[in-house]
Amino acid sequence: MTDLRIEIGRRPVVDGVSFAVPDGARVGIIGESGSGKSLTALAILGLLPDGARASGSVRWNGREILGLPDRELARLRGDDIGMVFQEPRTALNPIRTVGRQIGESVRIHERVSRREALRRAVTEAERVALPDPERIVSRYPHQLSGGQRQRVAIAMALACRPRLLIADEPTTALDVTIQAGVLALLRTLVQDAGMSLVFITHDLAVLAQVATHAVVLEHGRVVEQGGVADLLRAPSSPVTRALLRDATATLWHPERPQASVSDAGARAVADESAFPAASGGVVDDPPDGMTDSPPPAEAPGASETERTP
């Protein structure tokens, strides 16, 4: 992406943003609320809100994709670029089982029957470490915990086997412990598949758990970018230093009182044991009772809308 500019009305909201996402890199875009993170990501996907005008250049596979017609952008989103947003509820259809929704994502990418897609949904559910995948695919989104819903959203995004995943604050709506599990999952999946990641957050501690590179935005401009370890060790902009101070509370570990924040952050990049919760795997099991609740009655002939609570 080179010199991306976005205006809404006459107001410039993103102003000359340039960065690259090398193959396999995990780039974290960080900045305060309103700094232009989401718009920058949405511009890659051609999903800017009405009234927003983008200029500059966004290249994918050597090809200019800024301003491509909707049909081609839609194909790109189905095939090459997946996305996960902050609030999984918005990505999920409340009246369809999660299996059907994951299966539909599979079908965007591959010509398989509905039945086969449903079978694949179980595998995809397994891949994102959803508990009891065979059963969970017949559930509706509201019957899942927040962390599980986000895992479903990730499974949907990954079912298309994208080469780039864009995740806009995918864990901000989750509790801290659940957040760590989802972050660890995201990082592992992206790493194992050799995918690239653009990850948006306002929290440097979160960024350090996931990203290899960071782009720091302020008022729509890049104030600093580089490798995460370097950025944590020697932040050059006041914005980054402030973000680092904010992250202190998260990174500080009572058992390591001697560690400075930048030490802890730099170590976190190389060694995930700095975040014990992050290596714990699935931590967002729903409270007892939730897992054991029966699946919704499959009333023959009932339409899906009638099955909602």
Ligand X SMILES: Nc1ncnc2c1ncn2[C@@H]1O[C@H](COP(=O)(O)OP(=O)(O)OP(=O)(O)O)[C@@H](O)[C@H]1O
Residue with tokens 């989104």: 141
Applying CB under 6 A, among 13, 47, 74, 108 the residue interacting with ligand X is: 13
Does residue number 47 form part of the binding site for ligand X (CB under 6 A)? no
Q: How far is the CB of 134 from Mg ion (least distance, A)?
A: 36
- Closest by CA position to 51, among listed 59, 60, 42: 42
Stretch that binds Mg ion, among 31-39, 93-101, 152-160, 300-308 (CB under 5 A): 31-39
Does residue number 38 form part of the binding site for Mg ion (CB under 5 A)? yes
- What is the radius of gyration, based on Cα positions, of the chain? 20
Does residue number 100 form part of the binding site for ligand X (CB under 6 A)? no
Taking CB positions, which residue lies at the least distance from Mg ion? 38
User: Which of 215, 264 has the CB closer to ligand X?
Assistant: 215
Does residue number 8 form part of the binding site for ligand X (CB under 6 A)? yes
Q: Cβ atoms within 10 A of the Cβ of 111, count?
A: 6
Judge contact between 199 and 82, C-beta under 8 A.
no
User: What residues form DSSP beta bridges with 59?
Assistant: 64
- Closest by CA position to 191, among listed 28, 22, 25: 25
Does residue number 202 form part of the binding site for ligand X (CB under 6 A)? yes
Stretch that binds ligand X, among 28-36, 97-105, 253-261, 269-277 (CB under 6 A): 28-36
Q: Which residues of 4-13 are buried (b: 16+ CB within 10 A; e: fewer)?
A: bbbbeeeebb
Q: Which residue type is seen at 283?
A: V
Does residue number 49 form part of the binding site for ligand X (CB under 6 A)? yes
Does residue number 223 form part of the binding site for ligand X (CB under 6 A)? no
Question: What ranges make up the beta strands (E) of 23-147?
Answer: 26-31, 52-57, 59-60, 63-64, 81-84
Stretch that binds ligand X, among 33-41, 76-84, 148-156, 255-263 (CB under 6 A): 33-41
Does residue number 16 form part of the binding site for ligand X (CB under 6 A)? no
Q: How far is the CB of 36 from ligand X (least distance, A)?
A: 4
How many residues at the interface with Mg ion, by CB under 5 A?
Answer: 1
Q: Backbone phi, then psi, for 192, in 5-degree steps?
A: -65, -35
User: Which of 109, 219 has the CB closer to Mg ion?
Assistant: 219
Judge contact between 275 and 123, C-beta under 8 A.
no
Provide the binding-site residues for ligand X, judged by CB under 6 A. 8, 13, 31, 33-39, 49, 202
Provide the binding-site residues for Mg ion, judged by CB under 5 A. 38
